[in-house]
Amino acid sequence: MASQTPAVVMDNGTGYSKLGFAGNDSPSFVFPTAIATKSQGGGAGGSGSGRPAVANKPSFLTGGAGPSGHLSGKRGTEDLDFFIGDEALSASAGPGYGIHYPIRHGQIDNWDLMERFWSNSIFKYLRVEPEDHYFLLTEPPLNPPENRENTAEIMFESFNCAGLYIAVQAVLALAASWTSSKVQDRSLTGTVIDSGAGVTHVIPVAEGYVIGSSIKSVPIAGRDITNFVQSLLRDRGEPDSSLQTAERIKEEYCYVCPDIVKEFSRFDREPEDRFRKHIVKHPNGRSVTVDVGYERFLAPEIFFNPEIYSSDFLTPLPNIVDTVIQSSPIDVRRGLYKNIVLSGGSTLYKDFGRRLQRDIRHMVDARIKASEARSGGAKSGGLEVQVITHKRQRHGPWFGGSLLGQTPEFRSYCHTKAEYDEIGPSIVRRFALLGGPGST
């Protein structure tokens, strides 16, 4: 039986969790990585949300249940009183529940809550028997091996899952880019630009292994773009400048332009074509119209000109990518420039890849020219810079996991329950490289 079931692919990010089955085109569930628990639960995970305590009923009101009036007697059921995902958000809006985010900066922060989050993910959302399925989980680059061991402990001992593979998100994002027609050889060498809600990472990967010393992160990502759109709306005094509206505008209308001055004059010359109107419907039936203008191209511009948004971080994304590649080992740089892969929701703007490619290429060409001049007559063969835009960018790591999890040899790369029982948690410190040379 276990040999026919598809692998379960779970990508738990700081903002959203993506759950689904290997071989599918898109995740079955995407919801916030949030969990709502009873704030006064006494359970190990409740880190206290600062809500006032719900008054305990005097014991005579709890009926004849005897010890249930006592806190320790209740503990068994209180552990089960929680919600995850969107339900958690709505539960926390009401009284009695506090919201927690078990993942911080990509890494699991609270293991007890994460275990409960996973148990609901598996039993309530995916509705699978973990004994029958192999699991593919993701981890951020530079995740400490202890975290892997903790994860394995929970997956094998609490859920008794059949087999487990833990992959690095950046490597999966590279695998997801194989669907693009621009990728000819399915190599696992490339630079991954992963931009989600909170932070943007630039991660060089050589033959499936992350070059940890060269990773750089940029404190500009989706949330900053939303805030910037909001501030532009406020400057103009639009009738609705809430964060939700700003987010909708960001997602629906924004694009990357080649040059902001030219784009401004284009707005002057073709106003009908460029300015848009966004209609916000309020729940009470009223609707207001918000004009959408320069933020269409200014908002994503903060990746390329951070100065227009922030005063403390000023390095443009193309420069960061260039620095990252230049600080990687010299024999892989060519491959890193040739395969720059986008991943995450904040890379979905139209022409994002094209602008990035152009800016990086300018820098590379200028450097080659300078070194040609210094060498006195030597000619360089040039360096290919290619940014890969593909259709699976939004859930890149999840899709890469789905792609690799459906291959026939996937199971042989996993560690099984039996192996875990024999060797112990340290077994998950090493995994054979999935999708590396020799496979597929």
| CA-CA-CA-CA dihedral for 27, 33, 39, 45, to nearest 10 | 100
d(CA 320, CA 318): 5
Burial of 188 (0-12, 13-18, 19+ CB in 10 A): buried
When asked if residue 359 is in the footprint of other proteins (CB under 8 A), the reply is yes
Stretch that binds other proteins, among 68-76, 217-225, 228-236, 429-437 (CB under 8 A): 228-236
How many of the chain's residues bind other proteins (CB under 8 A)? 25
Which residue, 49 or 319, has its beta carbon nearer to other proteins? 319
Q: How far is the CB of 223 from other proteins (least distance, A)?
A: 19
CA angle (9 as vertex; 8, 12 as ends), nearest 5: 130
From the list 86, 131, 207, 307, which residue makes contact with other proteins (rule: CB under 8 A)? Answer: 307
258 lies in the site for other proteins, by CB under 8 A: no
Q: Which of 268, 272, 273, 422 binds other proteins (CB under 8 A)?
A: 268
| Binding status of residue 315 toward other proteins by CB under 8 A | no
- A 10 A CB-CB count for 81 gives 15
Angle at the Cα of 332 (from 353 to 105), degrees rounded to 5? 60
For other proteins, which stretch binds (CB under 8 A), given 69-77, 191-199, 248-256, 302-310? Answer: 302-310
The tokens describing 303, both together, are: 């990746």
Q: Hey, what are 368's tokens?
A: 């080659």
For residue 409, give the DSSP letter: T
146 lies in the binding site for other proteins (CB under 8 A): no
Q: Supply the Cα-derived Rg of the chain in whole angstroms.
A: 25
Q: Which residue, 240, 272, 260, 245, is CA-closest to 316? A: 260
Between 307 and 421, whose beta carbon lies closer to other proteins?
307
The closest of 113, 146, 145, 118 to 133, measured between CA atoms, is 118
235 lies in the binding site for other proteins (CB under 8 A): yes
Contact 9, 59 (CB under 8 A): no
Q: Does position 208 bind other proteins by CB under 8 A?
A: no
Nearest partner of 313 among 199, 435, 440, 150, judged by Cα: 199
Rule CB under 8 A: say whether 96 interacts with other proteins: no
- Closest CB 268 distance from other proteins, rounded Å: 5
Is residue 273 part of the contact set for other proteins (CB under 8 A)? no
Residue 261 binds other proteins (CB under 8 A): yes
Q: How far apart are CA 124 and CA 35, in angstroms?
A: 14
C-alpha–C-alpha distance, residues 317 and 344, integer Å: 15
Query: Which of 65, 308, 423, 432 is in the footprint of other proteins by CB under 8 A?
Result: 308
Minimum Å gap between C-beta 26 and other proteins is: 36
The reply to whether 304 sits near other proteins by the rule CB under 8 A is yes
Smallest gap from residue 273 Cβ to other proteins (A): 14
Q: Which stretch binds other proteins (CB under 8 A): 25-33, 202-210, 232-240, 414-422?
A: 232-240
By CB under 8 A, name the binding residues for other proteins. 232, 235-237, 260-261, 264-265, 267-269, 271, 275, 291, 293-294, 298, 304-305, 307-308, 311, 314, 316, 359
